[in-house]
Amino acid sequence: MSGKRVLMQGNEACVEGALAAGMRFYAGYPITPSTEIAELSALRLPVLGGHFIQMEDEIGSMAAVIGASVAGTKAMTATSGPGFSLKQENIGYAAMAEVPCVIVNVQRVGPSTGMPTSTAQGDIMQCRWGTHGDHPVITIAPSSVSEVYTEIIRAFNLSEKYRVPVIFLMDETVGHMREGIEIPDPDSYQVIDRAMPDKKGDNWRPFAVDSEKDVPKLPPFGMGWRYHITGLTHDERGYPTSSPEKSAAFISRLMNKLALNRDDIISCDSYMLEDADIAVICIGSIGRSAKEAVNRARAKGIKAGVFRPVTVWPFPDKEVTELAKKVKRIVVAEQNCGQIVLEVERCVRGACPVTFKGKANGSMLMPDEILAAIEGGEN
Amino acid sequence: MDPLVKKYFRQDMLPHIYCPGCGHGTLMKDLVKAVDNLGLEKDQVCVVSGIGCSSRSAGYMDFNTIHTTHGRAIAVATGIKLAKPELRVIVITGDGDATAIGGNHFIHAARRNIDMAVLVFNNNIYGMTGGQYSPTTPMGDFGTTAPYGSIDPSFDIPTLAKAAGATFVARGTVFHTAKTIRLMERAILHKGFSVIDCMSVCPTYYGRKNKKGDAADMIRWQRDHCVDSADAKLMSPDELEDKLIIGETFHRNRAEYTSDYQELIDRCKGGAQ
């Protein structure tokens, strides 16, 4: 159906984009407001020779995704708040064992059961620090249905390329919104599959790399390379180790795998920033309110613009630091009690004032509310 | 060196971490013997384990091995088996791993009857963490978290497996190695969800806390108290009072999950009608 203009829901675009990226395994557990992703996966996957399984719980869903990926299949799960919390241990395992996988979180209001059908952006920090220990993770937050389609493809590509869990951070607004979108032609985007080792030598060490910028080439199980995968800190052979030297080398490589490739991973959207005095920083669906707020501000003669990290983690720190040198003030608008603002303040380092505009009551942050913050009416 | 050890164990990973007298080494050897007897290709064998003493065994064996998170081995194995049904999937788990933290995955995989052999290395205790009572610690027995004796009734793993829908259920011990190897062979070949309650011994924690003697005493107890399931049918409840029933306890054939899924795919693709 490529090249065609269709009316599509964000959750549907997530599935169609994932299938275009090569997703052939889905394990999940029903949870609002992500359920359409499971339903459409159940409908579409068997037709393509793929597998959908409704697991007994969220933990098992994440585990089955890891298993399918280890067997060589591009795998995804989708959930929301409470389910995302339950998946955290195995997300950490995927980071530790370098298992490519995509976890969709359609955010709803928390904490706990919160407001299951209402929109929020309260899981931004959980994406980064939800599982225990230092670990690498990529998070991508789309703001429109068409961006859901293209960015979920990028999520799979980054996951395969860097062998990390990628969290696809939607919010209820993006998940349930319907828009007309142009299905991109498959020639217009790249689909990346994980790299295979060249050949198995006698001293093949599965986790050995030439430099920390490189990613281990781990073959799927059952293809003639027999090796060990563990969530314990391990050496280049994949064997558990408690040596401080090997442990230091391991965690350094794991973290630098993303840090040294950040320019390839980070993607940001800018709107009318060229001459802006005030920059609004936001993610996901709030990008839409922010653009409208900027249009209204411009109509009043205020030079405002929008900076929207599409890659939320790793955070575009250098970009925000540069932005802070160019503008007179930054407004951070988010649907929570203050998460992205902490990163922004860290990167701005006092170079300009930062105003926070948050909202966490289940209703969307509206253009006029952001406009008021641009005009300096609220802090 | 024993040729089986040379053929199936990662020499550079040995020695293993098990305490002197632990039964898990015997069970590992039983497994590779079963694989060898069946003539399986090492490349086609996938061993999935959870967390705990039992689950460290995966790393020592030269197969496709994955040591997962606590309780989740069966759920990871479900993903592997669905994505690559041609692999022989063997799960090594423990009594706590399989029936406490992983209890939900255990019963649901049994319900689906997905093709895998689950070997529960059952030592009646949490060994790795130092001797806390587990779901298979007999009521009244001691652990570091049951200093006055456990008041928790215990699980009988074969009964639990059968009730949840497993289609091959058996029990072996570290004393009855020949029988346990045969049971492992049959569990691996069985098309469906197979469970073997592999009775290990933990002289370090369970044995010491409960005055069971040393490893030899504990293995001798297995010799003197186990009754084969066929013989047990002829015995009275009184005669079975302090006995442990071993051997195959349940076996039937019913639709297997990955085969049914392939049929579903064929149907959706418009192939087989």
Q: Could you tell me the residue range of the domain that residue A340 belongs to? A: 269-374
* CB contact (8 A) between residue B75 and residue A75: no
Say if B68 is an interface residue toward chain A (CB within 8 Å).
yes
Q: What is the pLDDT of residue A197?
A: 92
Contact partners, residue A301, CB within 8 Å, separation at least 6? none
Predicted local confidence at residue A2, as pLDDT: 57
**Residue at which a domain ends, from A162, A188, A214:** A188
For chain B, which residues make up each domain, given as ranges?
Answer: 3-268
Look up the CATH number of the domain holding residue A167: 3.40.50.970
Residue B50 has pLDDT above 80, yes or no: yes
pLDDT tens-digit series, residues B237-264: 999 999 999 999 999 999 999 999 999 9
Reported as a pLDDT band with limits 50, 70 and 90, residue A1 is: low
- What is the rounded CA–CA span in Å between residue A371 and residue A374? 5
Count CB pairs under 8 A between chains A and B: 138
Cα–Cα distance, B36 to B15 (Å, whole number): 22
What mean pLDDT is predicted for residues A286-303? 98
Name the helix (H) or strand (E) containing A332.
strand A329-334
CA–CA gap between residue A94 and residue B267 (Å, rounded): 33
Q: How would you class A134 by CB atoms within 10 Å of its CB: exposed for 0-12, middle for 13-18, buried for 19 or more?
A: exposed
- Could you report the predicted ipTM of this complex, rounded to two decimals? 0.97
d(CA A206, CA A204): 6
Question: Would residue A210 count as lying in a domain?
Answer: no
Nearest partner of B226 among B271, B168, B165, B183, judged by Cα: B183
* pLDDT tens digits, A173-215: 999 999 999 999 999 999 999 999 987 777 899 999 999 999 9
Q: State mean pLDDT over B202-216.
A: 98
DSSP state of A272: S
Give the number of other CB atoms < 10 A from CB of residue A46: 19
- A23, A103, A131, A221: which to substitute to probe chain B, counting the most B Cβ within 10 Å? A221
Does the structure show a pLDDT above 70 at A377? no
Q: Is the peptide bond before A184 cis (omega within 30 degrees of 0)?
A: no
A166 and A297 share a domain? no
Q: How many structural domains comprise chain A? A: 2
Residue B182 has pLDDT above 90, yes or no: yes
Contact list in B for residue A46 (CB cut-off 8 A) is 261, 264-265, 267-269
Indicate yes or no: CB of A60 within 8 angstroms of CB of B66. no
- Res A379 pLDDT > 60: no
Question: Which residues make Cβ contacts (< 8 Å) with residue B141, sequence separation at least 6?
Answer: B124, B133, B149, B150, B206, B209, B210
User: Which residues, including other chains, have CB under 8 Å from residue B243's CB and lie 6 or more apart?
Assistant: B225, B226, B227, B232, B235
Rounded to an integer, the average pLDDT of A214-233 is: 97
List, in sequence order, every beta strand (DSSP E) within B62-184: 64-67, 88-94, 116-122, 125-126, 132-133, 168-173
Is residue A327 situated within a structural domain? yes
Judged against a pLDDT cut of 90, whether residue B188 lies above it is answered with yes
How large is the average pLDDT for residues A236-251?
98
Is the model's pLDDT at B272 over the cut of 70? no
Q: Across chain A, which distance is largest between two alpha carbons, in Å?
A: 71
Does A220 map to a domain?
Answer: no
User: By the 8 A CB rule, do B101 and B70 touch?
Assistant: yes
pLDDT tens, position by position, B58-91: 999 999 999 999 999 999 999 999 999 999 999 9
Judged against a pLDDT cut of 50, whether residue A265 lies above it is answered with yes
Among A188, A220, A249, residue at a domain's last position = A188
Structure confidence at residue A378 (pLDDT):
45
B43 and A222 within 8 Å at the Cβ level: the answer is yes
Gap between the Cα atoms of B171 and B243, Å rounded: 13
**Comparing C-alpha atoms, which of A374, A376, A365 is closest to residue A296?**
A374
DSSP label at B61? B
The pLDDT score that the predictor gives to residue A105 is: 98
Query: CA nearest B99: which of B143, B134, B138, B131?
Result: B134
- Residue B218 CA to residue B212 CA, distance in Å, equals 6
**Across the interface, which of A64, A228, A229 has its CB nearest the CB of B79?**
A64
Is there a domain that residue A159 lies in? yes
* A349 CB neighbour count, 10 Å cutoff: 10
Q: Is A224's Cβ below 8 Å from some Cβ in B? A: yes
Tell the residue number behind the tokens 């049994």, with chain if given.
Answer: B110
Q: Which of A139, A159, A188 is the last residue of a domain?
A: A188
H-type alpha helices, chain A: 10-21, 35-44, 58-70, 81-97, 124-129, 145-162, 172-176, 244-259, 262-265, 286-299, 317-326, 340-348, 367-374
B273, pLDDT greater than 50 = no
Chain B contacts in chain A segment 30-49 (CB below 8 A): 46-47, 49
Share of chain A above pLDDT 70, in %: 98
Go through B40-71 and write b for each residue having 16 or more CB atoms within 10 A of its CB, e for each that does not: bebebbbbbbbbbbbbbbbbbbbbbbbbbbbb
Span A137-148, average pLDDT = 98
For residues A151 and A288, membership in a common domain is answered with no
Separation between Cα atoms, residue A13 and residue A41, nearest integer Å: 11
Q: With beta carbons less than 8 A apart as the criterion, state whether B67 and B54 touch.
A: no
Which chain A residue's Cα is nearest to B257?
A53
Homologous superfamily in CATH for domain B3-268:
Thiamin diphosphate (ThDP)-binding fold, Pyr/PP domains (3.40.50.970)
Domain membership of residue A201 (yes or no) is no
Q: How far apart are CA B95 and CA B118, in angstroms?
A: 11
Nearest partner of B253 among B167, B161, B139, judged by Cα: B167
Minimum Cα–Cα distance from B65: chain A residue: A228
Question: A46 and A35 in contact (C-beta within 8 Å)?
Answer: no
Sign for the CA dihedral angle at A47, A48, A50, A56 comes to negative
* pLDDT tens per residue, range B144-153: 999 999 999 9
Q: What is the average pLDDT across A28-47?
A: 98
Closest to B75 measured CA to CA, from B31, B120, B106: B106
> Do both A164 and A19 map to the same domain?
yes
Residue A129 three-state SS? helix
**DSSP letter (8 states) at residue A375:** T
Q: Rounded to the nearest 5°, which phi and psi values hold at A281? A: -110, 130
Range B265-268 contact pairs with CB under 8 angstroms and sequence separation of 24 or more: B265/A46, B265/A49, B267/A46, B268/A46, B268/A47
Q: Chain-wide mean pLDDT for chain B? A: 97
Per-residue model confidence (pLDDT) at position B103: 98
